[in-house]
Amino acid sequence: MANAPTRAILIAGGAGFIGSHLAERLLNDDCRVIIADNFVTGSRQNLEHLASNPNLTVVEANVREPLRLDKALADSVLAEIYNLASPASPKHYQKDPIDTLLTNVLGAHNLLELAAKHGADYFQASTSEVYGDPAVHPQTETYWGNVNPIGIRSCYDEGKRAAETLCFDHARKRGAKVRVGRIFNTYGPRMARDDGRVVSNFIVQALAGTPLTIYGDGKQSRSFQYIDDLVAGILAVMRQGDMGPFNLGNPDEFTMRELADKVLAMTGSKSQIVTEPLPQDDPTRRCPDISKARALGWEPKVALEEGLQKTIEYFRGLV
């Protein structure tokens, strides 16, 4: 009896923070994984511990162009595509905003075309940023959002919104097998230390003994999701039949000030806290309603202290 062809899984943006964790999890599950990344914000360092795995293939590619995977696929069948290809922190996505928008729009389109060609399931990494500076709390997936279309964050927000549009139109018009997850603030090992996000900023600053920077009055809240919870959520969304969108986040809210205090206490740092003005269009509050994802049997399990502990250990190892 001939062997069934191997199923392969493509992770676009697989060298990034989330992508590398998703790859690790899928490799641990004995899947064959192809990572496509242009290494602009993703890094080869994120993949070092996976490099010796024979089930992993890494392709340098830009999703703004159609991918050529024939060689990487060899005899396997492309069964799933995860589109995580975009810079994701304001600092990085604002560096080349035109590229950010086009990467999100063309990346989604090209990967949806690839999914159609191979009959693959497609996961779109969307974002809580589609809600902008939300006027309702917590945010449910039916909320249409409050996004400034012409502000300095809009390259990402509008790019991700347009990518969702493409997903649903590919599903409605071409029968694409799409799942959309709206990812809220996520943290953990392998966050880029320079990407300007609050958890990595605070930890890096605390460990270095430099002041922790709070923007605005520090009362703006965020929910923080540990990366392992997110990866479980992505797989839960992908491996069921509803397109979504599904919020994927941890609904426990903390203010920036609370987070700073926690990081200082857990690192034993003597750093001061300093304040700077709030950047333009920075949302004052954001918190997911995750009823819909919960109904799939998923929920976040890692408490903030536990996740922070692991993340602090990671950054200690780098210092």
- The single residue of 93, 122, 131, 156 carrying the catalytic annotation is 156
Minimum separation from the CB atom of position 258 to its own copies (A): 29
CA distance 106 to 140: 27
**SS3 state of residue 116:** helix
CA distance 220 to 285: 5
CA distance 134 to 19: 27
Burial of 114 per CB tally in 10 Å (0-12, 13-18, 19+): buried
Minimum separation from the CB atom of position 157 to its own copies (A): 8
Of 14 and 181, which CB lies nearer to its own copies in the complex structure?
A: 181
- β partners of residue 12: 36, 83
Of 132 and 307, which CB lies nearer to its own copies in the complex structure?
A: 132
Question: Is there a contact between 284 and 133 (Cβ–Cβ < 8 Å)?
Answer: yes
Minimum separation from the CB atom of position 160 to its own copies (A): 9
- Alpha helices by DSSP H, the chain: 17-28, 70-73, 90-93, 97-118, 154-174, 198-208, 227-238, 256-267, 291-294, 304-318
Minimum separation from the CB atom of position 155 to its own copies (A): 6
Residue 6 DSSP class: P
Residue 31 DSSP class: -
Residues that bind its own copies (CB under 8 A): 96-98, 101-102, 105, 109, 130, 132, 144-152, 154-155, 158-159, 161-162, 164-170, 172-174, 180, 245
Of 92 and 109, which CB lies nearer to its own copies in the complex structure?
A: 109
Walk across the sheet containing 178-183 and list its strands: 56-60, 32-37, 7-12, 77-83, 121-127, 178-183, 246-248
Of 121 and 158, which CB lies nearer to its own copies in the complex structure?
A: 158
Of 24 and 133, which CB lies nearer to its own copies in the complex structure?
A: 133
Minimum separation from the CB atom of position 9 to its own copies (A): 25
Of 164 and 229, which CB lies nearer to its own copies in the complex structure?
A: 164
Minimum separation from the CB atom of position 153 to its own copies (A): 10
If you count them, how many residues does the chain have? 319
Active site residue 314: no
Using alpha carbons, list the distances in angstroms from residue 242 to 120, 180, 236: 15, 9, 11
Active site residues: 156
